């Protein structure tokens, strides 16, 4: 069974995907980490992030088992990932790994931007997680404050808007809601409530597979 979770930056899709996978005993892949790792290695080698040749070479040689680097989780890594993710050949190089992962028994939850549309268009369940940019910025800002990072809320919001525009505006595999995806709007939901709502959507989908 394959569960596809897509959504914009800081929508809470990663937390949700992990919790669902734990609950169901499934494997979980945060596909954003693949793009983040490509961007990290391209920069480390001294190339520009939009250098197609370098980014494709790195993506083809990426070892997906090496995604545990805590630096990959930061905002800068996310912005950098969004730049290499625009290169179609980079996306193509990462596709087979994601598709193989999705087929792992007994099931897998993958989260990203194009899981329900490109990576696993035949996924059994597709959920698109949303929240307003302001709510997502407030959540991210609270995380920064808790860590003592002095970043202004306005900066966090404008970074989120830039990333949304880049991810949704690229011609190849843009972030979009798959026609058969179920929307989960989490602006007014706690993590717990979002999890309960997602479990409800999955149960509904499994009992009425034709409906979205
Ligand atoms: O989900 P994330 O914030 O870790 O993703 C970082 C960037 O990687 C995101 O801004 C765009 C890119 N990405 C993508 O293009 N396709 C995916 N399936 C996952 C991430």
In the chain, where the domains are located: 2-198
DSSP assignment, residue 56?
Answer: H
Pocket of ligand 1 (CB under 6 A): 9, 31-32, 35-36, 78, 81-82, 85, 112-115, 163, 167
Q: Using the CB atoms, write b or e for 137-171: b if 16+ within 10 Å.
A: bbbbbeebeeeeeeeeeeebbebbeebbebbeebe
Which pLDDT tens digit goes with each residue over 166-189? 999 999 999 999 999 999 999 999
Taking the CA of residue 86 as reference, the ligand 1 atom at the shortest distance is 15
Specify the CATH superfamily of domain 2-198: P-loop containing nucleotide triphosphate hydrolases (3.40.50.300)
Question: Cα(196)–Cα(204) distance, rounded to whole angstroms?
Answer: 12
Measured by CA distance, the residue closest to atom 12 of ligand 1 is 82
Question: Cα(30)–Cα(131) distance, rounded to whole angstroms?
Answer: 19
Asked if residues 15 and 137 have their Cβ atoms less than 8 Å apart, the reply is no
Give this prediction's pTM: 0.95
Report CA-CA distances (Å) from 115 to 53, 100, 103, 151, 192: 25, 13, 13, 31, 23
Which pLDDT tens digit goes with each residue over 55-106? 999 999 999 888 888 888 888 899 999 999 999 999 999 999 999 999 999 9
């Amino acid at each position: 069974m394959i569960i596809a979770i897509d959504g914009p930056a800081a929508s809470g899709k990663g937390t949700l995907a992990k919790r669902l996978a734990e609950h169901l005993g499934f494997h979980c892949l945060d596909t954003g980490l693949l793009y983040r790792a490509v961007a990290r290695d391209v920069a480390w080698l001294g190339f520009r992030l939009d250098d197609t040749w370098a980014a494709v070479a790195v993506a083809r040689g990426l070892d997906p088992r090496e995604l545990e680097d805590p630096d990959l989780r930061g905002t800068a890594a996310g912005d950098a990932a969004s730049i290499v993710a625009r290169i179609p050949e980079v996306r193509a190089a990462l596709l087979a790994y994601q598709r193989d992962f999705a087929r792992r028994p007994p099931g897998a939850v993958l989260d990203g931007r194009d899981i329900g549309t490109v990576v696993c268009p035949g996924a059994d369940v597709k959920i698109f997680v949303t929240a307003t940019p302001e709510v997502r910025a407030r959540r991210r800002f609270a995380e920064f404050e808790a860590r003592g990072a002095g970043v202004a809320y306005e900066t966090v919001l404008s970074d989120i808007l830039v990333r949304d525009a880049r991810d949704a505006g690229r011609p190849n595999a843009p972030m979009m809601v798959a026609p058969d995806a179920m929307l989960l709007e989490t602006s007014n939901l706690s993590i717990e409530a979002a999890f309960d709502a997602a479990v409800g959507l999955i149960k509904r989908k499994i009992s009425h597979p034709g409906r979205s």
